[in-house]
Structure 1
């Protein structure tokens, strides 16, 4: 079993933290938490849906760089600053993941997120 550390991904700005964007172990890809940041690495504020859309775009790019398809994402972890934003993000989530192929998911409220973000998205992809 070879472990791969995915650090540089086209279209995903490098993290200011000493982390890997993802780690691939066997048939699993563990994707680090992603925020609404632009190509310059700076936080891009917006509605919860807009921020989630940018964060999910990073998750999908990272998964692809690691050799995994969006359909192989099996778990999503969403941290919200305000749980009142869940309904808005649910609409996006339903569009990103089709019925019958939706990953398991955890939602929780965070006290704070880096850069003052509204939502953080992390995920796990797996091949069966």
Structure 2
């Protein structure tokens, strides 16, 4: 099985030693994704709706660079700083997964920076 590192053009720099995505055996594993700009700055501070959209667009760019679409997503792991943001996150999430949404879970968690409000990690199936 071949393993391919996926780094979309213009992607934010990783905050630690990891790749934005890995394609292996027809699956794409997208690392935990945060609202980070191309210079490493936190985007949309204080706005979970905007941060969710930024995160999902970043995930979309990794999946597309690996040859898939958002319909290829089979599982999401969602981390929220505050569960009070659950409804706002879900409103944006539903725009990206309007039909046959992937399996997922959502938990409350501390973030790597206090200004991050949401993080998602994704698994997609794009075939061989």
By the TM > 0.5 criterion, same fold?
yes
Distance in 2 separating the partners of 1:127 and 1:9: 16
Following TM superposition, where does structure 1 have runs of at least 4 consecutive aligned residues deviating by more than 3 angstroms? none
Counterpart secondary structure, 1:38:
coil
Matched residue, 1:69 = 69
| Distance in structure 2 (CA, Å) of the matches to 1:42 and 1:69 | 27
Does the 8 A contact of 2:28 with 2:126 survive in 1? no
Specify every segment of 5 or more residues in structure 1 that has no aligned partner in the other structure, as ranges: none
Matched position secondary structure for 1:115: coil
Aligned to 2:8: 9
Q: Tell me the residue number matched to 2:56.
A: 56
Unpaired stretches in structure 2, ≥5 consecutive residues: none
Return the TM-score normalized by structure 1. Answer: 0.91
Alignment of 1:69-88 (within 5 A): 69-88=69-88
TM-score by length of 2: 0.91
Q: How many residues align?
A: 125
Distance 2:18 2:126 in 1: 23
